Structure 1
Amino acid sequence: MNEIIKIDNICDYNAFLGLETLHPLVSVVDMSKSNKITHMRHNFGFYAIYLKDVKCGDLIYGRNYYDYQEGTLVCIAPGQVLGVEDNGEYYQPKGWALLFHPDLIRGTSLGRNMKEYTFFSYEVNEALHLSEQERVVVIDCLHKIELELNHSIDKHSKTLITSNIELLLNYCKRFYDRQFITREHINKDVIVRFENLLGDYFSSDRPQNIGLPTVGYCADKLNLSANYLGDLIKKETGKSALEHIQLKLIETAKDMVYDTSKSVSEIAYELGFKYPQHFSRLFKKRVGVSPNEYRVQH
């Protein structure tokens, strides 16, 4: 596998592509105007959004390969690794890229709300597949940002640039919601596998050996990112992934509480709690009574 090329700032990225830098913290790139390059893997120090116009082979993202089709939008956060295996050939990239450094959005509305755009932590196999109309909207947003970059910098520049980036990201949220809906049958399969995973987990000795299952653990077993699993579960059921884990835990705990040969503390440890009082507190919050009170009532 190729070495990973680290690029920390946008000026270096533009220089690598042979393009002019209009602003040190943000760039809109028409990839068709760049130098011909070889495939490689990158680790960026900035946010990047790629819209490909052509199929470009198997994209490597994290541990997975993804067949990167045209009309696909991929969002990468700083520190993530993205790229294509180098086959030694030079090619002319096509499509668009928006790059912006975290320093650009500090103290802005976008900076304060950045955590809401959870798709920056999705796996590449959870990329956004755009319709033609959606693709037009994305490119229009990129053109607005590009227009502002070509304008002389003044006191309004930062506000207008970050506002247009925020507008683009809000459109991405809308398009992802559409994708969740149009892939409903796939989503339901994920939910079934998620429920089965929890059932298998609590019926094994893993809680005692590993502890309580986390959203990250479940997502990894389902080959999804934690954010994507959380968003999918929330949109399909109205409950968070953590709530689903807790509900499954409580249902398991109710059955165990019937066994009077075990103390509440023993049950808590078997379920993966380090401290029995944490189990009792969660049980009462979810059921309305303590484990001992539930045992007496039933």
Structure 2
Amino acid sequence: MHIRIENIDQFNHYFHQPTHHPQVSVARLQDADLSLFKPTDFGMYCVVLMEVDFGELVLRDTCIRYRGGTMFTMKPGDVASVNLAPHVKPHGWMLAFRPEQLNGTGLGRDFYLFNFFDYKVAEALNLHDTERKAIINCFHNIHTELQTPDDEFTSHMLRLGIAQMLTFCRRFYDRQFNAQEMHSSDFVKRFNRMVDEYLSNDAERLRSMGPPSVAWCAKQFHLTPSYFGGIVRREMNITPQAFLQDKLIEKAKSLLMDESLTINDIATRLGFTYPNHFARLFRQKVGQSPSLFRQQLIK
């Protein structure tokens, strides 16, 4: 059993504060009722800054202890709890906003940029001091807007404040990607080698697993697809999906040189269940059909 928060009023009740807006709230963790640290589904998008280490976070079946200055996010349906450390009072900030804030708004249009809501618990954002100040300033700005008398600009200003905070998070995550222990050249070499080995294996494996997927590649690095995709885009200036398709076409061109293989044989070897899907991808990437490409090769 866990606590389920249904609305902003209920959220604010746990922080002993009034409701100023029906879809957005900012709260201080030190003001929270301690029962809130039991398993809770907040039912909305949340951004949390832990300013001190006050216990072990349990989220998405993972237990982890963050140092002070760590940010993590939650999305509707996530259940979180904290095994509070003795003699350490919770300290930090929490932003909560309802999914309705994304409906037909600029924030919703750009929300795809903020894929860190899908990151693993271990992929939290570790802030530098200057970054922490910028994020705290965002919390203050949203809090100030919530305290301002409601007018026709209120909801728009709140969405701008949320977007600014999330954009800072995106920027700081990019910095964190650059600071990965794995050097960028090592990452690129490993990714290339891994995909080459996958495509060089016998056809039976490809037939059973299909072409290499972003999810499979991310798993080999022990990362979520979203976090892995961010690193690939940063280090290789290409999306992982586009990179995998390019590698697949490269392999297809090599196989097309073998005249003993039919187009259907090649599609099967590359893991495509339906040959027309292979032909469509090849035409999209190369600008001509596999058959025409082969004809030009053997002229």
TM, length-normalised to structure 2: 0.87
The 3 A distance-change label for structure 1 pair 35 and 79 is closer
Runs (4+) of structure 1 exceeding 4 A deviation are 86-91, 186-190
Partner of 1:185, secondary structure, is: coil
Partner of 2:279: 280
Partner of 1:135: 132
Residues 36 and 91 in structure 1, CA contact (< 8 A), matched pair in contact too:
no
Q: Deviations over 1:128-174 (max 9, x none)?
A: 11111111111111111111111222222111111111111122222
Give 2:195's aligned amino acid.
L
Whole-Å separation in 1 of the counterparts to 2:133 and 2:43? 28
Whole-Å separation in 2 of the counterparts to 1:6 and 1:277? 47
Whole-Å separation in 1 of the counterparts to 2:81 and 2:193? 34
Greater alpha carbon shift after TM alignment, 123-132 vs 137-146: 123-132
Selected match of 1:32 from 30, 33, 36: 30
Q: How does 1:46-65 map to 2 (within 5 A)?
A: 46-65=44-63
The 3 A distance-change label for structure 1 pair 81 and 37 is closer
Selected match of 2:81 from 80, 83, 91: 83
Partner of 2:141: 144
Shift of the alpha carbon at 1:209?
1.0
Give 1:79's aligned amino acid.
G
Partner of 1:166: 163
Whole-Å separation in 2 of the counterparts to 1:187 and 1:23? 44
Partner of 2:219: 220
Give 1:258's aligned amino acid.
M
Residues 36 and 92 in structure 1, CA contact (< 8 A), matched pair in contact too:
no
Partner of 2:26, secondary structure, is: strand
Q: Deviations over 1:46-78 (max 9, x none)?
A: 110000111134433334443311111112222
The 3 A distance-change label for structure 1 pair 290 and 105 is closer
TM, length-normalised to structure 1: 0.87
Give 1:242's aligned amino acid.
Q
Q: How does 1:98-247 map to 2 (within 5 A)?
A: 98-183=95-180, 185-202=182-199, 203-204=201-202, 205-247=204-246
Whole-Å separation in 1 of the counterparts to 2:183 and 2:45? 29
Gaps of 5+ in 1: none
Would you say how many aligned residue pairs link Structure 1 and Structure 2? 295
Partner of 2:68, secondary structure, is: coil
Whole-Å separation in 2 of the counterparts to 1:108 and 1:50? 23
Residues 55 and 84 in structure 2, CA contact (< 8 A), matched pair in contact too:
no
Partner of 1:73: 71
The 3 A distance-change label for structure 1 pair 214 and 94 is same
Whole-Å separation in 1 of the counterparts to 2:229 and 2:253? 25
Shift of the alpha carbon at 1:180?
2.0
Whole-Å separation in 1 of the counterparts to 2:79 and 2:177? 25
The 3 A distance-change label for structure 1 pair 61 and 290 is same
Shift of the alpha carbon at 1:32?
1.2
1:13 and 2:47 equivalent?
no
Partner of 2:10, secondary structure, is: helix
Residues 45 and 97 in structure 2, CA contact (< 8 A), matched pair in contact too:
yes
Give 2:191's aligned amino acid.
F
Percent of residue pairs bearing the same amino acid type = 35
Residues 55 and 85 in structure 2, CA contact (< 8 A), matched pair in contact too:
no
Residues 54 and 89 in structure 2, CA contact (< 8 A), matched pair in contact too:
no
The 3 A distance-change label for structure 1 pair 8 and 64 is same
1:253 and 2:252 equivalent?
yes
Residues 51 and 71 in structure 1, CA contact (< 8 A), matched pair in contact too:
yes
Whole-Å separation in 1 of the counterparts to 2:125 and 2:140? 20
